[in-house]
Amino acid sequence: MRRRKYLGIGAGALVTALAGCSNTSGESDESGKSNDSQTEGSTGTDSETGTAQSESYTVSMAPVGDVTFDSVPQTWLVYESGYADMGVALGQADGLLAVGNKARYYTRYYDELDGVSVDMSSVTQLLGESAQIDKELFYELNVDVHLIDPNWLVSGSGFGLEQSDVDELRTNVAPFIGNTIFRRTDTSWHDYQYYTLYEAFEKVAQVFQQEERYQQFKSLHDDYVSSLQSELPAESERPNALLTFPAGSNLDQPEEFYPYRLSDQGTNKKQFHDLGIGDALDGTGVGGLSTSDRGTIDYETMLEVDPDAILVRGHEDKSADEFANTVLSFMQQHSVASQLTAVQNEMVFRGGPIYQGPIQHLFTLERAAKDFFPDTFEGNLFDRSAVSDVVTE
């Protein structure tokens, strides 16, 4: 095995990782600031050659704590494909070797950005048969860094990995650094600090030493969101929505759904938060999908809530027309679903990706703005060439 390009984690961080969830600071909102820090590396000079020598640097992120690198990682993998999108945004697409579930990594957004792409034929899927992950695959891939919350692998979805497996891979292959951020309903094990999309993005930028590119991207994002929000109708005039994922095998003709809480601050709901869309389940007692809660709702339950809009996930491979001609059409012909206000008003939309990163969010925000406020927003709402320039410079 080639020499690993990292020095490892400190003793305090190892205790944190082995203990699982030691940070009990609670959840922050989308504008919250993380309370950990990163120690910048320094640059020295070789006494014989006089050339600059890059020294080690440390990145700190819950739950693992400090991770020290002695060179910038060249190859990497993720589970949540939102982290893959972060790496692409930072110009690191060529080093991506694997994602958790390739079907949930939506790269078609890159088609609108000149010079931005990912060769999915060279990307491996971690998730194997029966939703298990083979530990040996990590050895085969032999990356420089795993951008994964290790607690997700052990506690998240029954992948068949134990804490001892993660410890072994950390020692023999590469460090883990990451935080499960796509949802915040896994309270049975994720009781340490959460990160917003851009807080996590900043940590990934520190891993790849791309802080300047991150700042450029953040500036573009901040201006874009601010511009849209300045055009929104009054809060009292904004609709609420019910976010769901079909529970059956026929996604085009759903009868039951896993509910998500739109009020949850997970990163896959950021576009709806940016637009001030309310959670139709507030005050209903209905919970959201999590590791421990797999309950479903049907159209009768939906009718009791009768949301202004319904968001259905699992259809990111469809255009708006294709979605309307399948899912919405089925609901319009269903004896109960057809009574829903959202169905009658054709306020049933694709719900966006489960995992999303900064590039994907720009597009999902644009789509949601035009879905919910068609009288206010139309056409391209952000500059594609500006995004391409940041990614490819």
DSSP symbol at 267: G
Alpha helices by DSSP H, listed for 265-309, are 270-274, 299-305
DSSP symbol at 252: T
Q: Band the pLDDT of 34: cuts 50, 70, 90.
A: very low
Strand 124-125, strand 145-147: pairing: unpaired
Residue 41 pLDDT > 70: no
Lowest mean pLDDT across 15-29, 169-183, 312-326: 15-29
Are the folds of 8-221 and 233-392 the same?
yes
Rounded Cα–Cα distance for residues 141 and 145 (Å): 11
**pLDDT at residue 290, rounded to an integer:** 56
How many CB atoms sit inside 10 A of residue 32's CB?
16
Distances (CA, A) of 115 to 88, 112, 164, 218, 391: 11, 9, 41, 20, 8
Lowest mean pLDDT across 28-37, 96-105, 186-195, 237-246: 28-37
Mean per-residue pLDDT, 227-237: 96
**pLDDT at residue 295, rounded to an integer:** 81
**pLDDT at residue 382, rounded to an integer:** 98
Q: Which residue is listed with tokens 């690993």? A: 4
Percent helix, strand and coil across the chain, each to the nearest 5: 40, 15, 45
Rounded Cα–Cα distance for residues 83 and 88 (Å): 9
Lowest mean pLDDT across 116-130, 284-298, 328-342: 284-298
**pLDDT at residue 126, rounded to an integer:** 97
**pLDDT at residue 36, rounded to an integer:** 45
Residue 37 pLDDT > 80: no
SS3 202: helix
Rounded Cα–Cα distance for residues 27 and 20 (Å): 17
Q: Band the pLDDT of 55: cuts 50, 70, 90.
A: confident
Phi, psi of 140 (to 5 degrees): -65, -40
Residue 225 pLDDT > 60: yes
| In the chain, % of residues over pLDDT 70 | 84
Residue 278 token pair = 């309310």
User: By the 8 A CB rule, do 287 and 259 touch?
Assistant: yes
Cis peptide before 254 (omega within 30 of 0): no
Mean per-residue pLDDT, 174-193: 94
Q: Band the pLDDT of 204: cuts 50, 70, 90.
A: very high
DSSP symbol at 121: G
**pLDDT at residue 386, rounded to an integer:** 98
Mean per-residue pLDDT, 134-153: 97
User: By the 8 A CB rule, do 311 and 261 touch?
Assistant: no
Read off the pLDDT of residues 249-299 as tens digits, 9 standing for 90 and up: 899 999 999 988 899 999 999 999 999 999 999 988 677 665 555 689 999
Superfamily of domain 8-221: Nitrogenase molybdenum iron protein domain (3.40.50.1980)
DSSP symbol at 71: S
Q: Across the chain, what does the average pLDDT equal?
A: 87
pTM of the model: 0.85
Lowest mean pLDDT across 18-22, 158-162, 212-216: 18-22
Q: Band the pLDDT of 54: cuts 50, 70, 90.
A: low
Q: Band the pLDDT of 334: cuts 50, 70, 90.
A: very high
Superfamily of domain 233-392: Nitrogenase molybdenum iron protein domain (3.40.50.1980)
Residue 12 pLDDT > 80: no
**pLDDT at residue 289, rounded to an integer:** 60
Sequence-distant (≥ 6) Cβ neighbours of residue 214 within 8 angstroms? 90, 201, 202, 205
Distances (CA, A) of 129 to 132, 133, 160, 263: 6, 8, 11, 33
Rounded Cα–Cα distance for residues 348 and 369 (Å): 14
**pLDDT at residue 358, rounded to an integer:** 98
**pLDDT at residue 27, rounded to an integer:** 33
Residue 317 pLDDT > 60: yes
Rounded Cα–Cα distance for residues 149 and 139 (Å): 18
> 58: which strand partners?
39, 68
Q: Which residue is listed with tokens 């001030």? A: 276
Strand order in the sheet with 65-69: 8-9, 65-69, 57-61
Rounded Cα–Cα distance for residues 301 and 73 (Å): 49
User: In the chain, where are the structural domains located?
Assistant: 8-221, 233-392
Ordered DSSP codes for 340-384 = SHHHHTT-EEE---SS--HHHHHHHHHHHHHHH-TTT--S--S-H
Sequence-distant (≥ 6) Cβ neighbours of residue 92 within 8 angstroms? 76, 208, 210
